[in-house]
Amino acid sequence: MDDPWSLVAAEAGCFAAEVARGPVSRGIETAALRARVELLAAGFVEPRPLPEVLAELGAMMRAAGVQAEHPRHFGFFNPAVLPEAALGAALAGIYNPQLAIHDYAPFAAEIEGATLRLLMERIGYDPDQATACFTTGGAEANLSAVLAALARACPRWLEEGLRGLDRPPMIYLSQAGHDSFAKLVRIAGLGRSALRTIAVDRDQRLRLDRLAERMRRDRELGRLPLVVVGTAGSTAAGAIDPLTELSDLAREFGAWFHVDAAWGGTALLSERLAPALDGIAAADSVTWDAHKWLAVPMGAGMFFCRHPDAVARAFSVRAGLATGLGDRGVDPFLTTMQWSRRFAGLPLFLALTTRGLAGYGAMIDRQADLGERLRELLRAAGFELVNATPLPTVCFSHPAIESGAIKAGALARAVADSGAAFITAVRLHEPEREVLRACITGRSTAEEDLRILVEALGRALMN
């Protein structure tokens, strides 16, 4: 058999060029797809040679669905992955260090620690006074924040669970905040009614007056304002809530202040964009995904917290897992939701050490510039810009959408069907309406790609 790694290297070598040559997205009948999978799955009974299976797999991966690697992928924050980060993910799989226990994988644990400490400094945390861990993604990081807040505010919760709480705990999030909170209130056992969705202004930013009013009312009703969430880079429109004011308000009510910066957090690596996140240093905890704007493969979120004691209370358990090797650092399983886990920090470490902070900053600034350029091109082509953010997420509409002649979703689909570019439709809340959204997520996206997108939009409007 051929060396399997040379097969992977060959695939990786032509991957980006192959993807750029094809359409950015392709819908395929599920029935047709299942038939192809069944052919491959025949190998369950009659094993097939690896080169054959790999060739078929690669072809199908490129043929079906949305290609985030494509320079004209302007969809949700699923970026083209940096090659060195993909390599890091492969190495993590090959070495497969066990990151539950420090002694088992001390070098891997220290690499993750160094990476997280660097980013803690960017947030404005003192790395010696804070704690951080890699998570599976932003959803887990947001859940971790709520559990740490519960551990700090309600010591009896640790022993008695929700039965031990005197007052129902409430979580406050803007309408534009992420839907993972709707799920995590169930996972945490708090239930749907614990989540207070606060109205936004015309820039899709949380309204402070509404939040203050809601928390006051909840307190009068005997409820406990537990967590105030500020979104720094909303998923739909890149809106950044007023973080400093939110943190003051949270403090006034004795609530935990969490910043969900799942994709927007990466703006902290740009001298130019970082000021837009002023106030984040005052957060009790922060969610920041490496697998979004930091462009590493999925399965790499991060959770940062200024209260190591609260995190330890939420997650530590006594387990007889000592190996007796060396001097032990802190075992990662004591400070996260996970137990056995992947070396999630290696892809980011490799990208940061080979690109440097400055290299990352330049990449982000370039994408922000392209966002500005796209705004100019859209305006010149008769589109209306409907969001305000320094981040490269561009929401826009058109007189034909506003008049009801065509729906934003239909237009996004027509552009995708043309194969020229991929954009999405999103719902904004103030005013409530569906608009188009194009987000710059690719490192190979160039100005020419923006022009092709705007032309594709023009053609779709005429049909």
Binding site for ligand PLP (CB under 6 A): 77, 137-139, 178, 180, 231, 235, 260, 262-263, 289, 301
- Residue 246, Cα to own-chain centre: how many angstroms? 22
**Axis crossing angle, helix 83-95 with helix 346-380, rounded to the nearest 10:** 150
Q: Which lies closer to ligand PLP via its Cβ, residue 170 or residue 262?
A: 262
Chain residue at closest Cβ approach to ligand PLP: 138
- Distance between CA atoms of residues 135 and 304, nearest Å: 10
Residue 139 or 224: which CB sits closer to ligand PLP?
139
Nearer to ligand PLP, 150 or 426 (CB): 426
Residue 62 or residue 178: which is nearer to ligand PLP going by CB? 178
Quote the least distance from Cβ 150 to ligand PLP, whole Å: 19
Residue 261 near residue 290 (C-beta atoms within 8 A): no
Least distance to ligand PLP, CB of residue 252, Å: 25
| Sign of the torsion formed by the C-alpha atoms of 331, 117, 205 and 362 | negative
Smallest separation, CB 21 to ligand PLP (Å): 29
Taking alpha carbons only, the member of 432, 447, 449 closest to residue 200 is 432
Q: In the complex with ligand PLP, which residue's Cβ is closer, 153 or 237?
A: 237
Compute the chain's Rg from CA coordinates: 23
Q: Smallest distance, Å, CB 17 to ligand PLP?
A: 28
Closest approach of Cβ 400 to ligand PLP, in Å?
29
CB of 233 to ligand PLP, least distance (A): 6
Q: Which residue lies nearer to ligand PLP by CB, 346 or 426?
A: 426
Reference 335, options 131, 153, 77; nearest CA is: 131
Minimum separation from the CB atom of position 174 to ligand PLP (A): 11
Q: Which of 244, 233, 249, 262 is nearest to 145 (CA)?
A: 262
Exposed e or buried b per residue across 321-354, where buried means at least 16 C-beta atoms within 10 angstroms of its C-beta: eeeeeeeeeebbbbbbbbeebbbbbbbbbbbbee
Are the C-beta atoms of residues 229 and 197 closer than 8 Å to each other?
no
Residue appearing with tokens 């929401």: 395
Task: Output 76 or 157, the one with its CB closest to ligand PLP.
Answer: 76
